[in-house]
């Protein structure tokens, strides 16, 4: 599909695509719904690395290669693209999230700074973690927004997760596990529990709300995963990990047990090619930034 604008496609074959691996009655399965390729002016997405969901059927895409955000609203089961969001303070968005007020937060992958935008996309300022203890230097790799609108920032410079107030002030921090190798992403669930994915160890760590340290949720899963790089959660305590180099999404239960291995690497609808950020809304729809295929794919989560 390259970089050429392509119409939004729904593949009947891919809608019944399931993983080849069975995990029993409690397995989590993803069913393909549709793909987002172009904005309202038929301009195609280019290497999108981020996607955010809200609970009103809206999806915000970090269209990284085009240096912009693009919003889609799903109406009667069909995605309706909105106008692009482009501000000079955000030249290379790689991660995006939305808080309870509809404010949009996006991480610039070049500047390593978190930008706050209004629901309509107007620039409202940088989130600079005021009131920081030493070291004050922050190099952000990823972030997530809690149910209470707290901002959880993955600081790879000092090896920690910073928990900020909704206004962006330092509240506390949780250091990475002592034996970590490469922490690529984090997630926070509705209870305030933090999750980290170590891409080299292929392991997930967890820290309950208020905890001062991370503990293992899983052991190393190197034999199963190639390079898990992004992580998210749903409203049921399940954790989802996208294997960037394998094109597979793994579902883990609250205890870290494997509940499903979904999708495959490829180019057709329902397959992934270097997947990046994921999100899940209250309708149990999962959107995945399918970077290598220049699209965002939408799946329904089935149990």
Q: Which two tokens stand for residue 196?
A: 């980290």
pLDDT tens for each residue of 267-277: 999 999 999 99
pLDDT recorded at residue 137 = 93
pLDDT recorded at residue 26 = 65
* Closest C-alpha to 27, from 283, 233, 258: 258
* Closest C-alpha to 279, from 59, 67, 64, 116: 59
Query: Cα angle vertex 234, ends 293, 85, to 5°?
Result: 50
CATH of 12-302, picked from 1.20.59.10, 2.40.50.100, 2.120.10.30, 3.40.50.1980, is 2.120.10.30
pLDDT tens for each residue of 24-37: 446 889 999 999 99
pLDDT tens for each residue of 203-219: 999 999 999 999 999 99
pLDDT tens for each residue of 152-182: 999 999 999 999 999 999 999 999 999 999 9
Residue pair 36/45 in contact (Cβ under 8 Å)? The answer is: yes
pLDDT tens for each residue of 66-76: 999 999 988 87
Q: Which of the two residues, 19 and 55, has the higher pLDDT score? A: 55
pLDDT recorded at residue 19 = 36
pTM of the model: 0.91
Query: Region 120-132: what's the mean pLDDT?
Result: 95
For residue 186, pLDDT beyond 70: yes
Distance CA 230, CA 241 (A): 6
Mean pLDDT (the chain, rounded): 91
pLDDT recorded at residue 82 = 87
pLDDT tens for each residue of 11-22: 333 333 333 333
Dihedral sign from CA coordinates of 261, 61, 203, 165: negative
Query: Region 276-294: what's the mean pLDDT?
Result: 96
Give the pairing type, strands 275-280 and 285-290. antiparallel
pLDDT recorded at residue 78 = 79
Query: Region 223-238: what's the mean pLDDT?
Result: 95
pLDDT recorded at residue 57 = 84
Is the bond into 135 cis (omega within 30 degrees of 0)?
A: yes
For residue 1, pLDDT beyond 60: no
For residue 53, pLDDT beyond 70: yes
Map 207-233 to HEC letters. ECCCCCECEECCCCCCCCCCCEEEEEE
Q: Residue 225: CB partners within 8 Å, gap ≥ 6?
A: 202, 241, 243, 246, 248, 250
Q: Which residue has tokens 């969001």?
A: 85
Query: Region 47-70: what's the mean pLDDT?
Result: 95
The ranges assigned to domains in the chain are 12-302
């Amino acid at each position: 599909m390259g970089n050429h604008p392509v119409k939004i496609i729904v593949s009947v074959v891919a809608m019944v695509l399931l993983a080849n691996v069975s995990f029993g009655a409690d397995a989590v399965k993803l069913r393909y719904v549709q793909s987002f390729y172009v904005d309202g002016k038929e301009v195609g997405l280019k290497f999108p690395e981020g996607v955010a969901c809200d609970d009103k059927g809206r999806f915000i895409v970090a269209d990284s290669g085009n240096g912009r955000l693009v919003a889609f609203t799903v109406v009667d089961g069909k995605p309706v693209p909105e106008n692009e969001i482009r501000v000079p303070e955000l030249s290379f968005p790689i991660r995006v999230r939305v808080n309870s007020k509809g404010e949009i937060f996006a991480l610039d992958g070049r500047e390593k700074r978190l930008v706050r935008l209004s629901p309509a996309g107007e620039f409202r300022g940088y989130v600079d973690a005021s009131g920081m203890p030493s070291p004050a230097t922050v190099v952000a790799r990823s972030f997530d927004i809690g149910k209470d609108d707290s901002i959880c920032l993955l600081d790879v410079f000092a090896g920690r997760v910073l928990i900020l107030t909704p206004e962006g002030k330092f509240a506390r921090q949780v250091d990475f596990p002592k034996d970590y190798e490469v922490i690529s992403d984090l997630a926070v669930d509705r209870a305030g529990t933090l999750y980290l994915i170590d891409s080299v160890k292929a392991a997930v760590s967890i820290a309950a709300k208020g905890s001062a340290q991370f503990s293992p949720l899983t052991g190393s899963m190197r034999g199963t995963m190639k390079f898990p790089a992004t992580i998210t959660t749903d409203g049921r305590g399940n954790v989802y990990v996208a294997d960037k180099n394998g094109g597979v999404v793994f579902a883990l239960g609250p205890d870290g047990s494997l509940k499903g291995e979904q999708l495959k690497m490829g180019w057709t609808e329902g397959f992934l090619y270097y997947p990046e950020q994921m999100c899940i809304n209250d309708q149990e729809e999962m959107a995945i930034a399918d970077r290598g295929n220049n699209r965002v794919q939408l799946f329904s989560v089935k149990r």
